[in-house]
Amino acid sequence: MQANVLKWKLNEGKVCFGTFVRLGAAATEILGYGGWDFAVIDMEHGVFDFPSVEQCIRAAHVAGMTSLIRVPEPNPSYIMRSVDAGAE
């Protein structure tokens, strides 16, 4: 399991920077290598389905960035699938 960079930095009292992602896995990876601490993958207003969300989560982890998911509705099924896919 990967360390939650965002949680660690917040616990240390550090400033964290993140953004919403709506362009896919390649954009997510670029943001991570660009120094962003977290990405919010937007399923509510974005065009993501779970296969593309899983790709974005993997891209974030490869780049050392925390991935958060904004689910389309407060349904436990969406939340559990996001966590199972590796989102923090």
Sequence spans of domains, the chain: 5-85
Question: How far apart (Å, rounded) are the C-alpha atoms in residues 53 and 87?
Answer: 9
Residues 48-75: pLDDT tens digits? 889 999 999 999 999 999 999 999 899 9
Average pLDDT, the chain: 90
pLDDT over threshold 90, residue 31: yes
Residues 73-82: pLDDT tens digits? 999 999 999 9
- pTM, 2 dp: 0.86
Question: How far apart (Å, rounded) are the C-alpha atoms in residues 43 and 78?
Answer: 10
Active site residues: 45
Decide: 54 and 28 in contact? Cβ < 8 Å. no
